[in-house]
Structure 1
Amino acid sequence: MSRSIRVLHVDDDDALLDLTKTMLEREHDDIVVETEPDVEVALSQLDADTRFDCIVSDYDMPRMDGLTFLSAVQERHLDLPFILFTGKGSEEIASRAISAGVTEYLQKGGGTDRYLVLANRIENAVDKHRAERERRRNRERYQALIEYSSDSVAILDEEGVFEYVSPSAEQILGYRPEVLLDRNSFEFVHPEDRETVELAFQRCLDDPDVRPSTTYRFEHGDGSWRVLESRATNRRDDPAVEGFVVNTRDVTKQHEAEQRLKEERELFDAALDALPDTFYVSHPDGTAWRWNQTLKDLMGYTEQEMRELPPEAFFAEEDHEKIESVIQRVHDGETVVYEARVLTKSGEKIPKRISATLLTDDDGEPLALCGIGVDTDFRPENLD
């Protein structure tokens, strides 16, 4: 259902007011016209009632002409569409009207068709005004939301230039928002990461449905390099945004913790790989999870094969019953030391003395089985 359009028509000619009201409301069902022959009374109406959608005014009126009336309306900070509908037409008046900021300039006369033109002008002007007002409101709501966000929120143009930066940018990026405006965002990205960031931005530019998330180094206002994580959304077609919305958070501490963990893991793996004995960690059901290089070299399987094989596949068939028993005893809480024949991919059976124990979480739930295998001088026939 379309919304009604409330029009205030101001003209010192009562007969014309009545005719215009009749014709406009006949031409357009949604137009409702209120008439006023006195300009000062009209201003009082505008002060008391802010629900008008459009003003139609004559130019030549006593005490105040149409452009002076427009100026008085503008002083009240009313941005209503203002149509100058006058019988006194000239290029000079038209030029002055345009300079003053009238929405439309239309001369009276020309029969009833003129009222059809006026009705169309009113409808178009109001539709445009409402769309612009809604766009402004949406942008204000959007800005109010992002200004209280803990993440830095920026709007970039298609070249990556900052058009808007939220206040939280100072805490995260180290720059006051106004310092970043009109600067290209890519110039702050570490040279080694710039290509990755630009490619992610280009994907977002090419396809609005793509919302890339990128981690990269950014030059902080204090000169240090911070690790940031940004997610971009293409909102160029949204009248309230008309750009790329980029949400950014500082993940430097997280990145440093992950790096330390990675380094510790690499050191741990290197230490295990240096062991002359075999070491393994398996899932609670006995399937392989992690192992050292010594075990991998001994078994001869690929990484993928090691992960996919059942636990009994690593042992000679005659030891399968023993392995099942060991797994059960370990789950019961024992640390079991046993001897068994390891079966390599080539079919060789190699005697090993193996220890196995259960790793649990804080609640006592099983996490993994782990153990170490050492060479032994026992003879295989002693295991039968």
Structure 2
Amino acid sequence: MSGPIRVLHVDDDPALLDLTKTMLEREHDDFVVETETAVDAALALLDGDTSFDCIVSDYDMPGMDGLTFLAAVQERHHDLPFILFTGKGSEEIASRAISAGVTEYLQKGGGTDRYLVLANRIENAVAKYRAERERRRNRERYQALIEYSSDSVAILDVEGVFQYVSPAAEQILGYPPDDLLGDCSFDYVHPEDREKVVRSFDECVDDPALRPSTTYRFEHGDGTWHVLESRATNRREDPAVRGLVVNTHDLTEQHEAERELRQERELFDAALDALPDTFYISHPDGSAWRWNRSLQDLVGYTDQEMRELPPEAFFAEEDHEKIASVIERVHEGETVVYEARVLTKSGEKVPKRISATLLTDDDGDPLAVCGIGVDTGLRPENLD
């Protein structure tokens, strides 16, 4: 057992208090025994000090007997171990003590062995008290995490029926938690997504080691379909859960933003492909990044080849020195207009007038080189 065990012993016999303190602390190095001869003083001490682990009390005391003292203690600390250690023993008192919720009932006398028994009773009672207190704290922490989590937390049975739903569900799912209890969660899933959700759920039921994550559409309380992501954990063997814990968060805004971005890219690509002139965006080192259909049709390379080839591979050898100079000038911040022969995969040289400029971020750091090429109307040999 970790930490000292603080015991408050209350008895109107000072000599007995001293003896009990000596015997208990001698028996267990972890025991720290404090004594009071008056019940009122003991209650005042408990009101100001909540760190006691156990109370040992006589029964027959002036002003307040042990059971009345027990009731007063229970009002302050309802689960604090309370051992009635009394010289006035009877079946009636024992019965009343048990009914009142006393932790242990032990009669005085019987020599020093009695203190060994008392020490063991204290140790056992405190161990149980501390374990229960730790379980309660863990439950409270877990409950607080659930109550204040921005994610929805639900417990489902093996059929997917809601057994518990956290408060966050109303914001994420659109329903008061109590309205979902007893409903099958799969009934709210979009018909096109239901099969994959059920399959993922069943896999978690069959294999507790799995923690599958699934993205799907869920019918929100406002009638719209929200995109959710859920992760399930099989806790069927946990007595406090007895089900599958499912954490869920809403991806609707993220998916909508991604959809809009995808549409913008598709529109941008379509606009570039509609250009009759060649267009490209390269990385700062000159390697290809994005290009339009006109350029790819001209050079005849595949997408993978376009990305893997060095920049000079797209130009005739006699223009390589010029291209190196252009790249250097562009990185110095100059927009350069130059003429060069584009070299196709088949070996054809196509004259182009190209305008190249540097694209930078807000800090002025280079992001890419952008260029557009138009026909010159010249023959390749006329560029020399």
Partner of 1:343: 344
Give the whole-Å Cα distance in 2 for the aligned partners of 1:154 and 1:12. Answer: 54
Change (3 A) 1:235 1:257: same
| Structure 2 residue aligned with 1:129 | 129
Change (3 A) 1:6 1:366: closer
- The aligned counterpart of 1:206 is 209
* Partner SS, residue 254 of structure 1: helix
Q: TM-score, normalised by structure 2?
A: 0.73
Question: What is the distance in 2 between the residues matched to 1:200 and 1:321?
Answer: 62
List aligned pairs for 1:24-35, cutoff 5 A.
24-35=24-35
Once the two structures are superposed, what CA deviation does each residue of 1:230-274 show, in whole Å capped at 9, x if it has no partner? 678999999x99999977654423321220110221233244445
Match of 2:79 in 1: 79
Instruction: Kindly provide the amino acid, as one letter, of the partner of residue 282 in structure 1.
Output: S
Cα deviation for residue 341 of structure 1 reads 3.4
Once residues 264 and 320 of structure 2 are traced to their aligned partners in structure 1, the CA distance between those partners, rounded to angstroms, is 36
The one-letter code matched in structure 1 to 2:254 is Q
Q: How many residues align?
A: 376
Task: Return the TM-score normalized by structure 1.
Answer: 0.73
> For residue 263 of structure 1, what is the aligned residue in structure 2?
263
- Please tell me whether the aligned partners of residues 356 and 369 of structure 1 are also in contact (alpha carbons under 8 angstroms): no
> How far off is 1:164 after superposition?
6.4
Q: Which residue of 1 aligns with 2:9?
A: 9
RMSD (Å), alpha carbons: 4.8
What is the alpha-carbon distance in structure 1 between the residues aligned to residue 272 and residue 218 of structure 2?
37
Paired letter, 2:367:
L
8 A contact 1:232–1:244 mirrored in 2: yes
Change (3 A) 1:247 1:195: closer
The amino acid of 1:259's aligned partner reads R
Give the CA deviation at 1:336.
Answer: 1.7
Residue 355 of structure 1 corresponds to which residue in structure 2? 354
Aligned pair in 2 of structure 1 residues 185, 89: CA closer, same or farther (>3 Å)?
A: farther
Is 1:53 the counterpart of 2:56? The answer is no
Aligned equivalents of 1:203 and 1:302: distance in 2? 46
- Report the CA distance shift for 1:21/1:327 in structure 2 as closer, same or farther (over 3 A): closer
Q: Which runs of 5+ in 2 are unaligned?
A: none
Which sections of structure 1, spanning at least 5 residues, go unmatched?
none
**CA 352–129 in structure 1, closer or farther in 2 if over 3 Å, else same:** farther
1:20-75 alpha-carbon deviations (Å, 9 max, x no partner): 33321210122233445665665455446544321123557788665454333223
* 1:312 to partner: Cα distance: 0.2
More displaced 10-residue stretch of structure 1: 79-88 or 63-72: 63-72
What letter corresponds to residue 341 of structure 2 in structure 1? Answer: A
In structure 2, relative to structure 1, the CA distance for the partners of 1:376 and 1:46 (3 Å cut) is closer
Shift of the 25–367 alpha-carbon distance from structure 1 to 2, 3 Å rule, reads closer
Q: Structure 2: which amino acid aligns with 1:219?
A: E
> What SS is found at the alignment partner of 2:29?
coil
Q: 1:65 to 1:144 in 2, by over 3 A?
A: same
